[in-house]
Amino acid sequence: MTTVDDASRPSRVAGPDEAISAEELQLAARNHGIPLEALRYDVTPAGLHYLLIHYDIPDVDPAAYALSVSGALDRPLRLDLAALRDRPRVTHRVTLECAGNGRALLRPRPVSQPWLVEAVGNAEWTGTPLAPLLREAGLSGDAVDVVFTGADHGVERGVEQDYQRALPVADALREEVLLAYEMNGAPLLPQHGAPLRLIVPGWYGMAHVKWLRDITVTTEPFDGYQNAVAYRLRRDADDPGVPVTRIEPRALVRPPGFPDFMSRTRVLRPGPCTLDGRAWSGHAPVTSVEVTTDGGGTWAPAVLDEPSGGEWAWRRWSVTWTATPGRYVLGARATDASGRTQPVEQPWNRGGFANNLVQRVEVVVPAQ
C-alpha cells in the first residue's frame, strides 16, 4: 500500500567516499547562500540573503491573514496585519545563519542541505516586539514553551508536519524577539516568510519561523519534530543530544581579486591590498578577528570596525596584506566576549549543525 513513507527516508551520513548525491544537489539548486562578494554590503540586499526552506514557500494571502495567539494565557488573540502594524514598531539589524552552514565540508558528511560556508545574511527586520504582546494577553505563570507554527507543510524523515519550533518562555520574552513584517524597509518577500515571521536575534535560522500563523503557549515542554528530533547536536542516531540554539562565532573573508568561473579560485595582482570580511557570534559580541594567508599556519590580528547596526549584526574586519607572487589559502577566525572561538579541527555531530570551521579561500597571485 502506498503511504507517505514512500516519499521519505531516515536521516543518514554519507559513506567515506560518497560524493554529493542528486538529492543534495536538488536542495542546493533551491536553497542558496550569499555570494561571498556580497559580504561587501553592510545590509544584505534582497535576493542575496541565504535561504533555507524546508518544504515549499506557501501561498499566504495577506488580506485574509491573521495571527492566532493562544494556549496558556488569559486572553487569546487574533491579529491581522493592520493590527500588528498598529503596535509598537522597531527595527533590528540581525545576522541570520543556517544551523547547517558548513555541513558539506564535514567528513563524514551528514546528508542534508549541502552548505559550504555561505548560509548567512545580515538584514534589517522591522516588526513589533513579541514580549509585550504575550504579557498583554496574560501569559500564564506556569507557561514553559512558546510554540511557533508556520504555514509551510511537508514531510521530513517520515513525519508529516507543519513547520513548528518552540522557544523556552524566557527566550520568547527577550525584548529583541520580533514579529517581523518588513525586511530592509520593504514588505517581506514570499521566500523570507511573508506576511509575518519570527526573528530571534542570536539564534540559528531554524528558530526564526517564517509564514508564522500561530503562537501557542504550553505548560509542558514542546516535543515537536524540529525541536526534539531535527535540530540537536548528537554524536550518533541513538544520542538524544542537546538543542541547537545560538550562533557560534564565525568570520568570513570577502574573497579578494577576481575569480575563475569554475574553481572560484581567486586571482589577485601583486601589491598591497585590503583583506576584509564580516564576523559575528550569537553568544556575545565579537572581540577579535585573526587572519591567515597560509591556511592556518600563522595568524595576524585584524582591525574590527566599530559596530554598525547594533549588537545582533555582523561586524566588518580588515587587514592590510602585501601580496607577492605565489599561492595562498586565506581564512579568518573570530573570537567573542564569551571566549568562544573557531576551531581549526572541527568537532563533528550527526546533523552537521553549528559548524564554524575556518573558511579556506584559495588565491593565486601571478608573477607579473
Q: Which residues contact 306 (CB under 8 A, 6 or more apart)?
A: none
Query: Considering only 47-55, 214-222, 280-288, 292-300, which stretch makes contact with a copy of itself by CB under 8 A?
Result: 47-55
- Looking at residues 48 to 87 of the shown chain, list those that interact with a copy of itself (rule: CB under 8 A): 48, 51, 53-57, 59
- In three-state form (DSSP H/G/I as H, E/B as E, the rest C), the secondary structure along 153-182 is EEEECCEEEEEEEEEEHHHHCCCCCEEEEE
- Picking from 159, 282, 286, 294, the residue whose alpha carbon sits closest to that of residue 227 is 159
Q: Does 43 bind a copy of itself (CB under 8 A)?
A: no
Query: Considering only 113-121, 271-279, 287-295, 350-358, which stretch makes contact with a copy of itself by CB under 8 A?
Result: 113-121
| Contact assessment for residue 152 and residue 53, using Cβ atoms and an 8 Å cutoff | yes
Minimum gap (Å) between residue 176 Cβ and a copy of itself: 25
d(CA 244, CA 203): 9
Q: Does 346 bind a copy of itself (CB under 8 A)?
A: no
Q: Does 28 bind a copy of itself (CB under 8 A)?
A: yes
Q: Does 366 bind a copy of itself (CB under 8 A)?
A: yes
| Contact assessment for residue 318 and residue 253, using Cβ atoms and an 8 Å cutoff | no
| Contact assessment for residue 214 and residue 146, using Cβ atoms and an 8 Å cutoff | no
Q: Does 360 bind a copy of itself (CB under 8 A)?
A: no
Minimum gap (Å) between residue 145 Cβ and a copy of itself: 23
Smaller CB distance to a copy of itself: residue 267 or 344?
A: 267
Q: Which residue among 96, 103, 112, 130 contacts a copy of itself (CB under 8 A)? A: 112
Q: With left for phi above 0 and alpha for psi between -120 and 50, is residue 86 left, alpha or beta?
A: alpha
Q: Which residue among 71, 114, 224, 352 contacts a copy of itself (CB under 8 A)? A: 114
Smaller CB distance to a copy of itself: residue 78 or 157?
A: 157
| Contact assessment for residue 286 and residue 332, using Cβ atoms and an 8 Å cutoff | no
| Contact assessment for residue 288 and residue 303, using Cβ atoms and an 8 Å cutoff | no
Smaller CB distance to a copy of itself: residue 29 or 82?
A: 29
Smaller CB distance to a copy of itself: residue 171 or 362?
A: 362
Q: Which residue among 13, 73, 115, 244 contacts a copy of itself (CB under 8 A)? A: 115
Q: Does 37 bind a copy of itself (CB under 8 A)?
A: yes
- Picking from 256, 224, 255, 227, the residue whose alpha carbon sits closest to that of residue 241 is 227
Q: Which residue among 185, 243, 325, 347 contacts a copy of itself (CB under 8 A)? A: 325
Rounded CA Rg of the chain:
21
Minimum gap (Å) between residue 326 Cβ and a copy of itself: 6
- Picking from 288, 368, 364, the residue whose alpha carbon sits closest to that of residue 333 is 288
Q: Which residue among 87, 153, 234, 360 contacts a copy of itself (CB under 8 A)? A: 153
Q: Does 8 bind a copy of itself (CB under 8 A)?
A: yes
Smaller CB distance to a copy of itself: residue 165 or 340?
A: 165
Q: Which residue among 23, 86, 175, 294 contacts a copy of itself (CB under 8 A)? A: 23
Q: Does 180 bind a copy of itself (CB under 8 A)?
A: no
Cell numbers linked to 116: 559550504
Cα torsion angle, 137, 142, 144, 147, sign: negative
Q: Which amino acid does the sequence have at 48?
A: L
- Looking at residues 245 to 304 of the shown chain, list those that interact with a copy of itself (rule: CB under 8 A): 255, 258-267
d(CA 1, CA 11): 23
Query: Considering only 89-97, 156-164, 335-343, 353-361, which stretch makes contact with a copy of itself by CB under 8 A?
Result: 156-164
d(CA 236, CA 227): 17
Q: With left for phi above 0 and alpha for psi between -120 and 50, is residue 130 left, alpha or beta?
A: alpha
Q: Which residue among 66, 144, 189, 329 contacts a copy of itself (CB under 8 A)? A: 189
Smaller CB distance to a copy of itself: residue 21 or 338?
A: 21
Phi, psi (deg, nearest 5) at residue 262: -85, -50
Q: Does 156 bind a copy of itself (CB under 8 A)?
A: yes
